[in-house]
Amino acid sequence: MKKLFLVFFSSLLIISCSNESEKSKSINEKTNSVQDSVKTESVMEWTVKENERKANEEKLEKEKAAERQRMLVEREKVIKEKHLSFLHVDSLNGKPISFYLENSETNELVKSFYQGEFLPSDNDKTFELLDILVEKNEVIYPFYFHCLNSICLLSDGALSEVMGNPCLKMVYNYPKYTFSFFKDNIPVFDRYNQFIGYELYFQKYGTSNVEISESDFLNYLKENLNLEDKEIEKFYKTFVDGIEQVNKNMED
């Protein structure tokens, strides 16, 4: 009888433990289900917020890009107006501008530039234009000089770095004409002085394509300018001082 009771009690205990285990398992499953649901909601919430953040960033970037483009267009418009206001003249060197524009010796690219069809920049088209402008031509050089002056006044950044060579060639080819022009056009003179000064400095250290040295160039000008004209002499000395100042700035 006692053995029977123990067997019975053991069975009840096993059943009770089994029930408790099932309850615990059910509770764990429910807990896990709730946790999974919370995790899923958190992930979804994070995903929504992350997508919103990315969308806002993309929107802001597009707005910034649009503003940069607007400013670029506006800047180009201002530069073009400035360029054309200087470039468009009625006559040059005693001849109407039509003389140069209709002349068969005037390069088509130069005409296109004069008519405002493109602005100078650090690109192959502008580099080609610069090469054409410094070609020696006794008939149309006043027009080419005029176009080069416009580029000098507009150039900045990378384009400024290549202006020394064409400016030097123009002054070398036509020293009397250029210095006579400089007397009444100080801003143009200052740009030439600066560009040529830097180019001659780099030539001294072998990093320029210019073949003539600073001393040879200045001596050439001295021999070919009418220094008996006190105003021309003054500009020549100012030109020399400007080149010396460039050397000083570069050495400091």
Amino acid identity, position 7: V
Dihedral sign from CA coordinates of 25, 31, 37, 39: negative
For 106-159, the pLDDT digits (tens) are 999 999 999 989 889 889 999 999 999 999 999 999 999 999 999 999 888 899
> Is-contact 171 178, C-beta < 8 A?
yes
182: pLDDT strictly greater than 90: yes
Q: How confident is the model at residue 7 (pLDDT cuts 50, 70, 90)?
A: very low
Q: For residue 92, list its beta bridge partners.
A: 95
107 φ/ψ angles, rounded to the nearest 5 degrees: -65, 145
Please enumerate in sequence order all residues whose Cβ is within 8 A of that of 154, keeping only pairs 6 or more positions apart, or say none: 79, 82, 83, 119, 120
Closest CA to 232 of 194, 191, 175, 159: 175
Residue 161: pLDDT over 50: yes
Q: Report how far residue 165's alpha carbon sits from residue 161's, in angstroms, rounded to the nearest whole number.
A: 9
**HEC string of 120-160?**
CCCCHHHHHHHHHHCCCCCCCHHHHHHHHHHHHHHCCCCHH
CA distances to 1, 3, 13, 20, 193 from 7, rounded to whole Å, are 10, 6, 10, 20, 116
Say whether pLDDT at 208 is over 60: yes
Examine the pLDDT at 82 and tell me if it is beyond 90: no
Pairwise CA distance, residues 144 & 109, whole Å = 11
CA-nearest of 192, 240, 234 to 217 is 240
- pLDDT-based confidence at residue 209 (cuts at 50, 70, 90): confident
CB of 163 closer than 8 Å to CB of 152: yes
pLDDT digits (tens, 9 = 90+) for 23-41: 555 556 555 665 666 667 6
- pTM of the full structure: 0.70
- The mean pLDDT value of the chain amounts to 83
Q: What is the pLDDT of residue 84?
A: 62
Q: For residue 250, what are its two tokens?
A: 């570069």
CA distance 65 to 204: 43
Rounded to whole angstroms, the Cα distance separating 10 from 155 reads 102
